[in-house]
């Protein structure tokens, strides 16, 4: 009889990744370090015209989670992932964002 373990392995801990914010006037750039994560394991939740973004990256060893509140509405512009670093560019559409 063949048996298989159908449970997915969950990482033991969730870590908040190191994140840097850069304000370029019209754009807000977010740089998040996700070492050991493949690009296809990254999920980004940002509704169009949103004031919040969630980054979730998971593999069998570690899970990174970062929720970022933005003081105004933004629109997704660009994503880049290389060498364990995720860079997001968000266009400011709310003139009240400093």
Mean residue pLDDT across the chain? 85
Q: Measured between alpha carbons, how far is residue 98 from residues 23, 29, 60, 78 in Å?
A: 9, 14, 39, 21
CA gap 11, 6 in Å, rounded: 16
pLDDT at 3: 46
Contact 73, 50 (CB under 8 A): yes
Query: What is the per-residue pLDDT across 46-93, written as a single tens digit (0 to 9) for each?
Result: 876 678 889 999 988 899 999 998 878 888 899 999 999 999 999 988
* Across 11-35, average pLDDT: 91
Residue with token string 């964002």? 97
Q: pTM to 2 decimals?
A: 0.80
């Amino acid at each position: 009889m063949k048996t298989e373990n159908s449970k997915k392995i969950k990482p033991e801990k969730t870590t908040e990744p190191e994140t840097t914010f850069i304000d370029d006037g019209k754009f807000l750039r977010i740089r998040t370090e996700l070492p050991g994560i493949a690009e296809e394991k990254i999920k980004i939740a940002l509704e169009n015209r949103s004031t919040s973004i969630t980054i979730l990256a998971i593999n069998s060893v570690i899970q990174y989670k970062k929720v970022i509140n933005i003081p105004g509405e933004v629109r997704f512009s660009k994503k880049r992932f290389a060498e364990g670093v995720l860079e997001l560019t968000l266009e400011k559409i709310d003139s009240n964002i400093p």
